[in-house]
Amino acid sequence: MFVDLGYPVRAAQRLKNDNREDELLNSRILFLTTYNTTLDFDEIFKDHQLADGIYQIIARHSKHYSKSGRKDLPSATDVQALSETLKLLFNLSQYYPQHLKDLAKCAPNILKILCRIHLATPVLQPPVTYLVNALLNLSIIYDEKPPKDSDPNPYFPRPDQFCNIDRFISILDNAVRTYTEEQLETLATPLVTLLRKVFEFAPSNVRPHMQTALLPTNSERSQPLGQSNTLAARLLRLSNSPVAPSLRESVASLLFELSDKDATSFVRNVGYGFAAGFLMTHDLPVPASATEGWSTARGNGDLGEKLTSVDGKEINPVTGQIRETEPEASGQEMTEEEKEKEAERLFILFERLKATGVVNVKNPVEQAVQEGRFEEVE
């Protein structure tokens, strides 16, 4: 009945008013009508310039955020109204992709707000989460002339093309240090997805900047990759998270894309231990030298060297650690009896794993017996 009486059209018209309370109410009404109603938003876009109205609203909000740090900061009502408008923008971009070109002009002002807004603790809360979500569907590359006084690509503005990227990465770094993996599953996945989209269209001078910021550095290779407290190490651990499947997939995909979608570079950057699961689940070929020792890999020429050396230093291709920093093996070699007990323990563990039904795995001990590689010892 609400839709039939034409109230959503009135709400769209009132969005043009420069009033935060009107914006809060009317954006909320329109947001709710994007779900399970007969409202024709195509008509509102065409007859009531809905995209222009949303653009003007966000442009007004952006004036509260200045580099000069002036004190006319947004009120609580301002923040609530902006959040509702951003939620509406996201749903419209999600459910009405035919209007994305008109909505994309909102991106510069959203980026301006996101770069200049004070980040609270914890960081991923409204309106920051809504600012990130609103950018997810908006075009990163303009097909036509950008809005007046705007850079050709607002994601990489002149003169500082890194400012937005650095802000995204700063927010992510703050988040992964603050939230649990379960919380990050919901809160951080959109931000990682946004970074993936931005990297795909990043200029040639921006891509190395992102790779340096998000991939493990050589200084981290004094220990197995993923064990330090850097952002890259935390991302590696999230790429194997058992409790955050969506985030795990998104982070692993980001690391693979930062490696130029090349399996060999991926293994070299993160270590085969972190790369193996992603490569296998996506049916990507595993580099032949990934799990081989240094001496074997060197025989494979450039590929082996790429996997097993960094700055001329030998690395473990599985852990990514520099060989000379690995702890020396301690203790005496196992006796035959100890080897037999260890084989028995592994056999039992694999049988238990098979019984869970989670994975279908061939017991390596059983396979070795079947292939005649075990000898009975009296």
| pLDDT < 50: residue spans in the chain | 293-305
pLDDT in tens, 184-232: 999 999 999 999 999 999 999 999 999 999 999 999 999 999 999 999 9
Mean of the per-residue pLDDT values of the chain: 85
Q: How many CA atoms lie within 13 A of 108 on its CB side?
A: 19
Q: How many CB atoms lie within 10 A of CB 173?
A: 18
pLDDT of residue 149: 53
Give the separation between CA 199 and CA 197, rounded to whole angstroms. 5
pLDDT of residue 127: 96
pLDDT of residue 366: 66
pLDDT of residue 363: 62
Give the separation between CA 107 and CA 70, rounded to whole angstroms. 23
pLDDT of residue 1: 53
pLDDT of residue 298: 34
pLDDT in tens, 134-166: 999 997 765 555 555 555 789 999 889 999 999
